[in-house]
């Protein structure tokens, strides 16, 4: 029975400092170091107050149970602190994600604003100002070209109409001269014919 108790005591003595050392390495702050020192002091007191038997130490079971409880409490405290720290880290990560999303949203809004500032809506289509200006100037130049073309066509038609009127007037004048000349010839022929008739009577 004592042998089993000694083996159990040695097992706890060797595992508790190892666990405590591992946790002390993971959580490096002043409070945990103080707690670790307290556990070390308790362990040293436990060893110093234990009885010796050959090369072994015989430790009181009650004292060992108290020490084990203290170690477990320390571990739970460290776990609680780790959990609390993890919650803080998670909260910070969530906040960072929200801020990143806000930044992304602001960047998208800024890009849309820049596009709207540098663009013009034409027939529901958002066009860059340079393209819009090119289209507008093309339309203006096309309208000017069409106006010049119609003015030219009108002027040309007007010239043709005036020339046609002049040709018509010339033709009418020529016809009138021809008609007068024909009448004069006809009258002359009739007079000559009448003179011949008068001669033969």
Domain edge (last residue) among 50, 78, 113: 113
Taking only the tens place, the pLDDT of each residue in 110-147 is 888 877 777 667 677 777 778 878 888 999 999 999 99
Q: pTM higher than 0.85, yes or no? A: no
| Residues 124 and 109 placed together within one structural domain of the fold | no
Number of domains the chain is built from: 2
Please indicate, yes or no, whether residues 98 and 11 belong to a single structural domain of this protein: yes
Q: Tell me the DSSP string of the chain.
A: -HHHHHHHHHHHHHHHHHHHHHHHHHS-SHHHHHHHHHHHHHHHHHHHHSEEETTEEE--HHHHHHHHHHHHHHHHHHHHHHHHHHHHHHHHHHHHHHHHHHHHHHHHHHHHHHHHHTEEEETTEEEEHHHHHHHHHHHHHHHHHHHHHHHHHHHHHHHHHHHHHHHHHHHHHHHHHHHHHHHHHHHHHHHHHHHHHHHH-
For residues 175 and 102, membership in a common domain is answered with no
Quick one: 14 and 106 in the same domain? yes
Same-domain check for residues 105 and 141:
no
Look up the domain containing 72 and give its range. 2-113
> Do 127 and 186 share a structural domain?
yes
pLDDT (tens digit per residue) in 1-49:
444 444 444 445 444 444 444 444 444 444 444 444 577 888 888 778 7
Domain boundary residue among 91, 113, 135? 113
């Amino acid at each position: 029975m004592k042998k089993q108790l000694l083996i159990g005591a040695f097992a706890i003595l060797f595992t508790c400092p190892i666990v405590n050392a591992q946790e002390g390495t993971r959580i490096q702050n002043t409070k945990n170091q103080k707690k670790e020192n307290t556990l070390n002091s308790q362990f040293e007191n436990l060893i110093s107050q234990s009885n010796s038997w050959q090369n072994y130490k015989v430790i009181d079971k009650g004292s060992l149970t108290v020490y084990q409880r203290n170690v477990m409490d320390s571990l739970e405290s460290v776990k609680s602190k780790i959990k609390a720290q993890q919650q803080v880290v998670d909260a910070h990560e969530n906040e960072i994600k929200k801020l990143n999303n806000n930044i992304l949203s602001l960047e998208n809004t800024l890009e849309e604003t820049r596009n709207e500032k540098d663009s013009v809506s034409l027939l529901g289509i958002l066009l860059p100002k340079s393209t819009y200006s090119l289209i507008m100037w093309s339309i203006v130049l096309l309208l000017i070209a069409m106006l010049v073309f119609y003015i030219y066509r009108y002027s040309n038609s007007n010239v043709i109409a005036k020339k046609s009127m002049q040709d018509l007037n010339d033709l009418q004048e020529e016809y009138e001269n021809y008609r007068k000349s024909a009448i004069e010839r006809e009258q002359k022929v009739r007079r000559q014919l009448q003179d011949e008739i008068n001669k033969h009577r």
